[in-house]
Structure 1
Amino acid sequence: MARFTGKSIIVTGAGSGIGRAASLLFASEGGQLLCADKSDAVNETAALIASAGGTAHALQIDAGTEEDVVRAVNTACDHYGGLDVMFANAGISGGMANIFDTDVSLITEVLRVNLIGPYLAIKHAAPKIAERGGGAIVLTASVAGIRSGAGSPAYSASKAGVINLAMVSAQQLSGSNVRVNAICPGLTETGMTKPTFDYAREAGKTDRIGRLNPLRRGAQPEELAKVAAFLASDDASYVNGQAIAVDGGLSSSHPVTKQEYGKTAV
């Protein structure tokens, strides 16, 4: 497939995990990438794309700072003549402290990166995408934003905000032909979750990773990247204002006694 031939695409959080996997996938389908990340690992992502024959430019930014987001949008437009797709994927976890042990400064920082970042991406990317006749904005939310049990209060609140932001912005961009959707990853092996996966492997407990979802496993970044690419492409031309859970089925149920396939519940 070559769904993104000639398309100018920005991916934030492109230095690792879902952002890197999406950047590689977009580029493999003809996209011209601006890979943005706070970490200098973003240069490696761009180099991987270039070594595979793709087109990419790396830029180190803070996705929660307006000046940096403006710089990323302007850089993509300068390099590729405009902008067609924005994948606002950058985010931080903020740890696992409960409400009473979380400092306000931590909540503020999590909201700045995880929620204000996507807001800024929409604010500055949408007009440029509209100028090209339309396109797509994809936001990375989380199953933690759907209901309790998948993240800290700060992280969960930020991702719930991203889900609502996708809905509100889709409405406010009515008539622009700019679609806005969100993906809601479940447990996925990224830089953010690496300690969890590493611990499970060292302890010989990999069978416990993702055991609460029906697929009984965690996800790989490439699996999330494929859904982001679908939403960014014309294949999803009538999908707008949605939050798509990509979680192995975790969010499809309220807590129940688990029933094994082929066995009778007792």
Structure 2
Amino acid sequence: MIRSLGPDFPEGIALVVGGSGGTGQVISERLAAAGANVAIAYRGNLEAAEAAAEDARSHGVQVVTQQMDVTDPAGFAQGVRALVEEFGRLHTVIVATGYDIQMRKISEVTPDEWRRVIDNDVNGFFNVVHATLPELRKQGGSYVHIGSAGVVRWPERDVLSVAPKGAIQQLMKGIAREEGGNGVRTNSIAIGVIDAGIFHRLKDTAFDAEWHRTVQETIALHRYGLPEEVAETAVFLASARAGYITGQTVSCDGGWNL
């Protein structure tokens, strides 16, 4: 007889950090469609967060928005405590944050730029872990981090995105190894060029037509990815269906790394 894995998500709530962004909004909606209550954490864009929440609520689950700044460890931890107090349990943390960065060669990056990106991305991610790991350890849970395909194949002028994501990927592996016995899983998604969010804001200014042509020819599928494709991958990895997958980096890049 085939064993039942039970529901994809238990009672409690899933937290989407960066849930107001282009990909984060779709992840929030897909989590709700899978039956999870969702907390959409946003830094400053309340309007986008509320729009994402409205879409997610159409699936009949509880959805809340919460202002949470990853660079403020005390404030972020307070937000996590409020969610646990309201919903009883935090079982999923998906980090889909992104920042507008300059496309530069390593030789062109200034120390101030480097410190700003590291503080937002790497230190910010650690602040998320510091606040949420004690809760996930109680009854088990899952982290999913939206990373970069650049950790597998180097994209020129993208050091400010790729280097922090590489550090986070290693931190995720460490959590998987150290916390697996407590039922905590971690997985990363190495995404390629996704036609959403930051890319929408940059594609007509930071990249010329030749860049778009070259990149699409490099991708095996000859197209950019969709946020829905990232979201389906993230929700699967967070769910009980991926209960024996941990410490892994799954490529969602259309074959960029081939």
Stretches of structure 1 that go unaligned for 5 or more consecutive residues are 253-266
SS in 2 for 1:193: helix
Residue of structure 2 equivalent to 1:82: 89
Distance in 1 (alpha carbons) for counterparts of 2:61 and 2:213: 37
SS in 2 for 1:173: helix
Distance in 2 (alpha carbons) for counterparts of 1:83 and 1:237: 17
CA RMSD after TM alignment: 2.5
Residue of structure 1 equivalent to 2:3: none
Residue of structure 1 equivalent to 2:231: 225
Residue of structure 1 aligned with 2:21, choices 13, 16, 34:
16
Residue of structure 1 equivalent to 2:98: 91
Aligned 8 A contact 2:189 2:234 in 1: yes
Q: Please state how far the C-alpha of 1:215 moved relative to its aligned partner.
A: 0.6
Aligned 8 A contact 2:11 2:89 in 1: no
User: Which consecutive aligned stretches of 4+ in structure 1 deviate over 4 angstroms post-superposition?
Assistant: 196-200, 205-209
Aligned 8 A contact 1:143 1:251 in 2: yes
SS in 2 for 1:6: coil
Residue of structure 1 aligned with 2:36, choices 28, 31, 35:
31
User: Does 2:128 correspond to 1:121?
Assistant: yes
User: Structure 2 vs 1, CA of residues 53 and 15 (structure 1 numbering), >3 Å: closer, same or farther?
Assistant: same
Residue of structure 2 equivalent to 1:146: 152
- By percentage of residues, which structure has more helix? 2
Measured against aligned partners, the alpha-carbon deviations of 1:68-88 in whole angstroms (never above 9, x if no partner) come to 321331122122111000012
Q: Please state how far the C-alpha of 1:101 moved relative to its aligned partner.
A: 2.1
Stretches of structure 2 that go unaligned for 5 or more consecutive residues are 1-5
Distance in 2 (alpha carbons) for counterparts of 1:77 and 1:151: 41
User: Structure 2 vs 1, CA of residues 210 and 73 (structure 1 numbering), >3 Å: closer, same or farther?
Assistant: farther
Distance in 2 (alpha carbons) for counterparts of 1:195 and 1:33: 26
SS in 1 for 2:63: strand
SS in 2 for 1:251: coil
Distance in 1 (alpha carbons) for counterparts of 2:237 and 2:67: 25
Residue of structure 2 equivalent to 1:194: 200
Q: Please state how far the C-alpha of 1:242 moved relative to its aligned partner.
A: 0.9
Residue of structure 2 aligned with 1:245, choices 221, 229, 251:
251
Structure scoring higher RCO (CA < 8 A, sep ≥ 6) equals 2
Distance in 1 (alpha carbons) for counterparts of 2:22 and 2:108: 29
Distance in 2 (alpha carbons) for counterparts of 1:63 and 1:26: 21
Partner letter of residue 85 of structure 2? D
Q: Please state how far the C-alpha of 1:61 moved relative to its aligned partner.
A: 1.9
Distance in 2 (alpha carbons) for counterparts of 1:151 and 1:91: 17
Q: Please state how far the C-alpha of 1:152 moved relative to its aligned partner.
A: 2.1
Deviating more after overlay: 16-25 vs 117-126 = 117-126
Q: Please state how far the C-alpha of 1:67 moved relative to its aligned partner.
A: 2.1
TM-score relative to the length of structure 1: 0.85
Aligned 8 A contact 2:21 2:97 in 1: no
Residue of structure 2 equivalent to 1:4: 9
Partner letter of residue 20 of structure 2? G
Partner letter of residue 182 of structure 1? S
| Aligned residue pairs, count | 250
User: Does 2:156 correspond to 1:135?
Assistant: no
Partner letter of residue 172 of structure 1? E
Distance in 2 (alpha carbons) for counterparts of 1:103 and 1:197: 23
Deviating more after overlay: 137-146 vs 44-53 = 44-53
